[in-house]
Each structure stands twice: as structure tokens, then as C-alpha cells.
Amino acid sequence: MFVVCSLCHVESTDGVSSGDKAKPALLGTLASSLHKLKDTDNGDGAFFVFGDVSIRVTGTWRLQFALYDYHKATMRYVFLSQVISDPFKVVSLKDFKGLDESTYLSRAFSDQGVRLRLRKEPRAFKYDSPPKLLNLCQAEGISADTCFLATTESAQRVK
């Protein structure tokens, strides 16, 4: 079994198609196979983990998670079900307040071998470091030519 994640408009279940395939709206690992893990109460569970999904388009969105199974006999993938997340807001880099501390569930999964980036304590995002901003832009697939650093005086192009 595996789950595929896709981006949906907040008003509908229609997926978002990006006209520019080089710069898709939804980034990261968009498929997850089944992980048999212990939950926060130490009970057995089946989880699909999406540890690095990000969205590069601001606005209000939902995620659609579609569950599939692979049948070896017919060598086909069979759609089983789907679920759509509650709406959530994506903000621009300048409005981003930083990441919250990692949840207990994330830590429990990481302790069981799931590769996740964990944050020990909340940390505000700093805008005064061009190399860090440039690394963030490059990680998101944004070229240095289009990556700008907002300062208190003016916007400067990051080189």
C-alpha cells in the first residue's frame, strides 16, 4: 500500500496543475509507503509519513491523500480511497514566522527510524542572513537571480 499526496484548491477537490513543470506548486516526496510504527501511546499503527512536503504558492489550500494498493497477480495499482485535509494557509517567505517545535509524534517516529527533520525548540526565521536565505531559495528550486532579501531599508538582490 502507498499514499500519494496532491495539492487541491480550497473550494474543490480538483488538483492543481502547474503550467510550468519545471516549477511545480507542490514539492517534496509526494508518495509514502506504509510504515508500521508505534504511536504516542506505544500502540501499533500503520502510518504514511510525509516529512518534506512544501508548497511554493501562497494562498489557502488543501491536500488530497489517495490510497493505492499494488496487486502482484495483475501487476496493477488499484485506487482504494482518498481523504482531503482541512484548509490551511500558505504564507510568503517574508510573512513566515518560523517553525514550531517538533511534535511528540514526530519525535516518536524519528526514534523508530523514520527520517524526519526535528526541531528542538521554536525558532524565528531570520531575514538578515543572505547565505541562509540563498540556501533556502536554492532548496526550494528558486534561482539566485530571483531570490530577494527583504531588509528594513529596501529589498536587495541576493548574490
Q: At 66, list the grid cell.
A: 489517495
Q: Which residues contact 126 (CB under 8 A, 6 or more apart)?
A: 132
Residue 77 falls within a domain, yes or no? Answer: yes
CA nearest 92: which of 22, 24, 140? 140
Sequence letter at residue 93: L
Residue 86 falls within a domain, yes or no? Answer: yes
Residue 100 falls within a domain, yes or no? Answer: no
Residue 126 falls within a domain, yes or no? Answer: no
**Structural domain range at position 66:** 2-91
Residue 122 falls within a domain, yes or no? Answer: no
- What digits encode the pLDDT tens for the residues 30-57? 999 999 998 889 999 999 999 888 998 9
Q: Which CATH number fits the domain that encloses residue 72?
A: 2.60.40.3960
Find the angle CA(96)-CA(99)-CA(104) to the nearest 5 degrees: 155
Residue 61 falls within a domain, yes or no? Answer: yes
Residue 157 falls within a domain, yes or no? Answer: no
What is the count of structural domains for the chain? 1
Residue 106's pLDDT is what?
86
Residue 52 falls within a domain, yes or no? Answer: yes
Per-residue pLDDT of the chain (159 residues; tens, 9 = 90+): 999 999 998 887 666 655 455 568 899 999 999 999 988 899 999 999 998 889 989 999 999 999 999 999 999 999 999 999 999 999 988 888 887 788 888 888 888 888 887 776 544 545 444 455 556 655 655 554 444 443 223 333 333
Find the angle CA(86)-CA(87)-CA(91) to the nearest 5 degrees: 140
